[in-house]
Structure 1
């Protein structure tokens, strides 16, 4: 009798085991181990313990359902920016403090390659070393005075190109490199500011001298023009011209309604003699 019940007991235990496994599976699914939520501005990379990283697919935002042996690694794919405080050497060996920020964004369609090459800590492994190396290399070509004043824009552009060349072939797009601050030793900074002030004063003095020189030149040309005008007028006053103007004036007076006496005669110069009504 007991022997006949043994197979039934075995089957009952087997069914119970199956039910327990189904319950565990359903509980695991309810607990979320087979779903991954990818938030706004994120993307996901699929990793399976059986097949490794899926290099051909990137998951977008929303709820992703997957097998228990699959993991979805989330990445922030929005534009990010980070500030680096650095100490570097100028061309003459002085220690320069700099605050430099870099702005970047991972390439979404190449996110699996980024994951297998650098992982989620790709900033520390890729971008940060390239930025620091570029800053040291480029700053080492300039003097503190150039870094503090006229060459900052040029410096910033060179660092950006250097970082871009090193990072962009490795699945990350670099959007900008910005120099936020340059800190010099106090005595160097004061000396540079004094020198710049002296140069500005010298430029202002040169401008004043040039302005006065141009004004003197203008007056000289004006005086020469006036003298030339007087010379032309003097040469134009011939006896024939004066006689013509005298006749013209006599005609105007004769036609005037005012009372007058006009005596026309030939003087030494040949001009009319005009007497008023006295």
Structure 2
């Protein structure tokens, strides 16, 4: 009976000891919290932390996290639009004790969210709606810089701000589509004009080539050359036995006119 009692007590002790531990996962850090002593300043990393059943470990995710907010703004040129902005942040691991004591685990909702929305709206409202995409890097840096000033002693690291999406009013979208369609038509017209100009240039070059060739031909047809060619023709015709020809030297530049009598001999 005594042995059974010892075994039962031992098992209960093991279960109690194992059940009172907390494993701190990777990417998290923890603070010891005691029922009677409160939160301890020591920060624990990825490890198994043994605790009495009446104590616990407060866990904080210290990895970089991205929080997004949609803010409605009135641009510098009085246009209402919705802009989605994102903030990348995390708790400072070596300041977890102060973060927990002063703010708590809901630090984003408690101190960051409203500041992020207000600063984003204030900065974005300084720009025309057409400048927001073109100057997004400048806007993001301005929002981040102001956030760092406002949250300087809040035990948080702020890494980056990003403009993720701009939702323009429907009339702006329609105007943008119309502008794009007009630009496409202009590009098509410019292309057609360039093709027409090239075709015209080719035709001009061809005409100039023909004109030059004709001038060369005309310059070579001198009276002497024509007389020479006429004599060659006379010699060839004289060899023909199928027809009779008369050569009348009354043509222009004394070039003979050749007349066929149609009475040549037949073979």
TM class by smaller structure = 0.5 to 0.7
Q: Is the contact made by 2:71 and 2:121 (CA closer than 8 Å) also made in structure 1?
A: no
**Structure 2 portions without partners, runs of 5+:** 187-267
When residues 196 and 157 of structure 1 are mapped into structure 2, their CA distance, relative to the original with a 3 A threshold, is farther
Classify 1:197/1:152 alpha carbon distance in 2 versus 1 (closer, same or farther; 3 Å). Answer: farther
Matched-pair contact (CA < 8 Å) for 1:87–1:98: yes
Q: Deviations over 1:59-111 (max 9, x none)?
A: 11110112233210111111111222332222344321112111112111100
Counterparts in 2 of 1:6-17, with a 5 A limit? none
Is there any run of 5+ residues in structure 1 with no aligned partner, and where? 1-15, 202-278
SS in 1 for 2:134: coil
Please say if residues 168 and 174 of structure 1, whose CA atoms lie closer than 8 Å, have aligned partners that are also in contact: no
Q: Give the superposed CA RMSD.
A: 3.0
Q: Tell me which of 126, 130, 134 is aligned to 1:150.
A: 134
- 1:75 matches 2:63: no
More displaced 10-residue stretch of structure 1: 186-195 or 56-65: 186-195
User: TM-score of the superposition, structure 2-length normalised?
Assistant: 0.59
1:107 equivalenced with 2:92 (yes/no): yes
1:191-230 correspondence runs (5 A) = 191=175
Secondary structure at 1:115's aligned position in 2?
A: helix
Query: TM-score of the superposition, structure 1-length normalised?
Result: 0.57
In 1, the alpha carbon distance for the partners of 2:158 and 2:181 equals: 38
Pairing 1:170–2:158 present: no
Q: Once the 2 structures are TM-superposed, how far is the Cα of residue 169 of structure 1 from its aligned partner? A: 2.1
Instruction: Report the Cα distance in structure 2 between the residues aligned to 1:123 and 1:82, rounded to whole angstroms.
Output: 9
Kindly provide the CA deviation profile for residues 225-264 of structure 1, in whole angstroms up to 9, marking residues without a partner as x.
xxxxxxxxxxxxxxxxxxxxxxxxxxxxxxxxxxxxxxxx
User: Which residue does 1:137 correspond to in 2?
Assistant: 122
User: After superposition, where does 1:256-267 map in structure 2 within 5 Å?
Assistant: none
Change (3 A) 1:108 1:25: same
Aligned length: 180
Q: Give secondary structure in 2 for the equivalent of 1:40.
A: coil
2:29/2:45 contact within 8 Å kept:
yes
